[in-house]
Amino acid sequence: MRIIFAVMVALSLGSGMAHAGDAAKGEKVFKKCKACHVVDSEKNKTGPHLVGIIGREAASVASYKKYSKAMKASGLVWDEETLDGYLAAPKKYLKGTKMAFSGLKKEADRANIIAYLKSLQ
């Protein structure tokens, strides 16, 4: 019984994001995103604002007119899982995206940014 439990725990840690992020650390990592995105006002820059992104459909900021065809057709809803995948490697996750950022390779950085975005909801 203990072995089964240990295997289940190990498998659950290996899938998706292994740990909850730290919003304060995420705010620091978000500095990499600030050239193109804001989180404190509904103002678009090179990319759309990220106010209220958690639970929002991709390509749904009406005031942002530069979404790629791929993003418009993606059907994505931004949650922890989709953000984690997209932030890891945007062009790999969504072929045809216009986002030029190569991605955040460290799982902890992604978890921290996601925690930061969630803290702003």
CA–CA separation, 31 vs 43, rounded Å?
17
Whether residue 51 lies inside any domain: the answer is yes
Quick one: tokens of 89?
């490697």
Nearest to 26 by CA among 119, 120, 113: 113
Whether residue 14 lies inside any domain: the answer is no
Helix or strand or coil: residue 77?
A: strand
Whether residue 11 lies inside any domain: the answer is no
Q: In terms of residue numbers, what domain contains 77?
A: 21-119
* Sign of the torsion angle spanned by Cα atoms 68, 69, 72, 77: negative
Q: What is the CATH number of the domain that holds 114?
A: 1.10.760.10
Whether residue 10 lies inside any domain: the answer is no
Whether residue 67 lies inside any domain: the answer is yes
Helix or strand or coil: residue 104?
A: coil
Whether residue 103 lies inside any domain: the answer is yes
Q: Give the predicted TM-score (pTM) of the model.
A: 0.83
Helix or strand or coil: residue 26?
A: helix
Whether residue 29 lies inside any domain: the answer is yes
User: Into how many domains does the chain fold?
Assistant: 1
Q: What is the pLDDT of residue 19?
A: 65
Q: What is the pLDDT of residue 6?
A: 39
User: Tens place of pLDDT for every residue, the chain, 121 residues?
Assistant: 444 433 343 444 444 445 689 999 999 999 999 999 999 999 999 999 999 999 999 999 999 999 999 999 999 999 999 999 999 999 999 999 999 999 999 999 999 999 999 999 9
Helix or strand or coil: residue 66?
A: coil
